[in-house]
Amino acid sequence: MSDLTLPPRFAVFGQPITHSLSPRIHRHFAQGLGIALDYQAIEATPELFPATLARFASQGGIGANVTLPLKEQAATLCLELSPAARRSGAVNTLVRRDDGWFGDNTDGSGLVRDLEAHLGLALAQRQVLLLGAGGAARGVVSALFEAGIAELVVANRSIERARALAHDLAACGPIQVCDWQELDQAGAFDLVLNATSAARQGVVLALPASLLGADACAYDLSYGDSARPFLEWATQHGAGRASDGLGMLVEQAAQAFLIWHGLRPDSAATLAWLRGQ
Ligand code: NDP
């Protein structure tokens, strides 16, 4: 039961969750717009997530973000999914309705908005290489095609997972699959996206310089220390632009904020504030 004297309740669910930037991002958005907001980080294992989410709703929770490792599970807990969530099979934004949860996925639109609005990249007719075929990779494919890319090559350590992605998302556009060992013959790309979690395990990806076309953009979906090895490789091998995924994080949050509050926050101001910290 919600108490109308209290600000509306929002949260991000994941495991681990203590280092999530989402509470700070949403509070900064709300502050900029003069909105009262209660946004907490709630730790939940996959086993406890359904009960934890149900308790959050019973205590007045009306919106939530979902992060690793709960995005696919969140999709199964929704009564209805947006087209983006249905295509990717993963939910990062939950909206409470009278009869249950509506699930959306704003990761893809967040990435595209960061690439176009903050990095000034025109995606139309671009050749794109996507490294990785996990949940984040799946989440961005349809938005990249909607932004007009010409071709997508997906390379993944386990080729079967890349093939499954290409099969499941074939309706989005032409997707080629490439073995990790075949990357030196894969050609040159305008945009190379790193959607692997290799650096989190201390693994530096061995990538041929030939992947970077003239004035290519290299983008790591992760940020902080995890993004550093890939971005160093890109700048050392002549990439025109190299960026981590902090802008994507802020933009996917801005899209969720718009869904919940009907207001678009000043995401550029929040990104500048975070980068300054
Ligand atoms: P998943 O666990 O679903 O997928 C991990 C991917 O990394 C798989 O493709 C896996 O390959 C690959 N991988 C893992 N270890 C290695 C390695 N040693 N060598 C090569 N490939 C490897 O994770 P997600 O897709 O959810 O997340 C990927 C990254 O994207 C994370 O760093 C996450 O933080 C970031 N992210 C950023 C967001 C943002 O807003 N900026 C939003 C969402 C994610 P295989 O299939 O062979 O195991």
Q: From CA 12, how far away is CA 37, in angstroms rounded?
A: 13
Neighbours of 264 (CB within 10 A): 12
- Please write the tens of the pLDDT for every residue from 137-179: 999 999 999 999 999 999 999 999 999 999 999 999 999 999 9
Residue 71 annotated among the catalytic residues of the structure = yes
Which of 196, 255, 267 is the best mutation target for the ligand 1 pocket, counting ligand atoms within 8 Å of the beta carbon and taking the most? 196
CB within 8 Å of 1: residues ≥ 6 apart: 58, 59, 60
The tokens of 40 are what?
């907490």
Position 61 scores a pLDDT of 97
Burial 111-138 (b: 16+ CB within 10 A, else e): bbbbbeebeebebeebbbbbbbbebbbb
Pairing of strands 175-179, 127-131: unpaired
How many angstroms is it from 1 CA to the middle of ligand 1?
38
pTM: 0.95
Output the residue whose Cα is nearest ligand 1's atom 9.
132
In the chain, count of helices (H) and strands (E)?
10, 12
As for ligand 1, residues whose beta carbon falls within 6 Å of it are 68, 107, 132-137, 156-158, 161, 195-198, 200-201, 203, 221-222, 226, 245, 248-249, 252
pLDDT in tens, 58-104: 999 999 999 999 999 999 999 999 999 999 899 999 999 999 999 99
Select which of 9, 26, 28, 71 is catalytic: 71
Residue 198 Cα to ligand 1 midpoint, Å, equals 7
Confidence at residue 4, expressed as pLDDT on a 0 to 100 scale: 60
pLDDT digits (tens, 9 = 90+) for 202-233: 999 999 999 999 999 999 999 999 999 999 99
Burial of 164 (0-12, 13-18, 19+ CB in 10 A): middle
| pLDDT higher than threshold 80 for residue 114 | yes
Closest residue by Cα to atom 39, ligand 1, is: 249
Statement: residue 1 has pLDDT above 80: no
68 C-alpha to ligand 1 centroid (Å): 10
Q: What is the mean pLDDT of the chain?
A: 95
Q: To test the ligand 1 pocket, which listed residue (17, 154, 197, 221) has its Cβ within 8 A of the most ligand atoms?
A: 197
**Residue 2 clears pLDDT 60, i.e. is over it:** no
Ligand 1 atom with least separation from CA of 110 = 40
For the CA of 247, the nearest atom of ligand 1: 41
Whole-number pLDDT of residue 169 = 93
